[in-house]
Amino acid sequence: MQGVIERLNVSAGGLPKRSIERAWAGTLGLEGDRHNHPRIHGGPRKALLLISAEDLEELRGLGFPVEAGTLGENLTVRGIDFRKLVSGQRWRAGGVLMELTTLRQPCMQLEPLNGGENGRIQRALAEVYARGGFYAAVEREGELKAGDIIALAGQPA
């Protein structure tokens, strides 16, 4: 199983995250990326958030104004069926080895995307497995860039 990192995204805190061409991925995430709520987001077990480009396209089809970085993801990935992702899988991209840790739980920070209908995008994300993304821990630090192949490197024991 493999795909491509379509976009890397960072912010000084909050949403949306802006696209960058390359970044160092360390144990606490992408260089230059910050979180407004570090007790909830980020940290070694949630260093990176991966979201499917195909899921973003589906959400746009449902009327949500989303593009790469809008949902707070660090890696917008194309070509991987996120319905087949599970905690403990290891993925290799660029110089980085990462391990998927936990599904992302959609939060109230996404409320501005709802067009006045409270909780709409949160429900849309939660109703399809992994549509809201997957967090990953960085096991081996390295550089990532847009266009890098991301490939399954190991299944959980």
pLDDT digits (tens, 9 = 90+) for 69-124: 999 999 999 999 999 999 999 999 999 999 999 999 998 899 999 999 999 999 99
Q: Which helix (H) or strand (E) holds 56?
A: helix 53-61
CA dist., res. 157 & res. 141, Å (int):
22
Amino acid at 114: N
- pLDDT score for 7: 98
| Res 90: pLDDT | 98
Residue 26 has pLDDT above 90, yes or no: yes
- Alpha-carbon span 106 to 47, nearest angstrom: 16
What is the DSSP code string of 49-92?
EEEEHHHHHHHHHTT----TTTT--SEEEES--GGG--TT-EEE
pLDDT at 6 over 80: yes
Backbone angles phi, psi at 69, to 5 degrees: 95, -20
Indicate the pTM of the whole model. Answer: 0.95
What domains, with CATH codes, occur in the chain?
A: 2-97+108-154 (2.40.33.20)
16's tokens: 């949306």
Q: Which residue has the tokens 């144990």?
A: 27
Element (H, E) at 121: helix 120-126
Q: What is the mean pLDDT of the segment spanning 15-34?
A: 96
Percent of the chain with pLDDT over 90: 90
* Mean pLDDT over the full length of the chain: 95
- Whether the predicted pLDDT of 37 surpasses 80: no
pLDDT band at 41 (very low <50, low <70, confident <90, very high): confident
